[in-house]
Amino acid sequence: MAYSDPTYVIFDGDEDAWAYRFMKGWNASENVSFEFANAHDLDNMTSRAQDEDYVKRNLRNRMNGSSQVLVLIGEKTKNLFRFVRWEMELALDLGLPIIAANLNG
């Protein structure tokens, strides 16, 4: 039975995308018992993704449809204010459960 509650994943797209890709790979694999409904797969952003208001509007829509938030915490995550901190604050405002995963071993 597939897990159907969407999980919103917060991560440093420049430094920690590898961990997010691992999760997507595990989810697709028949050999790994790992399932999650990825909130980021609900829609694709267009080339307007350079516009901060556009990005935040889309991220807000994705998070509104999520049941929980997973934060992948890498070496530089604490320094990210533009989106990561905004996403964390939004998750708190929406009352979503937040799970943190330390990628630093």
Tell me the CATH number at 68: 3.40.50.11200
Q: In angstroms, what is the C-alpha Rg of the chain?
A: 14
Residue segments in the chain with a per-residue pLDDT below the cut of 50: 1, 42
Question: What is the reported pLDDT for 74?
Answer: 93
Nearest to 62 by CA among 3, 7, 2: 7
Q: Which domain holds residue 83?
A: 6-102
Instruction: Indicate the residue type of 34.
Output: F
Decide if 97 is inside a domain.
yes
Decide if 75 is inside a domain.
yes
Give the number of domains in the chain.
1
The burial of 69, by beta-carbon neighbours within 10 Å (0-12 exposed, 13-18 middle, 19 or more buried), is given as buried
Cα separation, 88 vs 84, whole angstroms: 6
Instruction: Indicate the residue type of 54.
Output: Y
Question: What is the reported pLDDT for 99?
Answer: 94
Decide if 66 is inside a domain.
yes
Question: What is the reported pLDDT for 3?
Answer: 53
Question: What is the reported pLDDT for 48?
Answer: 55
Decide if 1 is inside a domain.
no
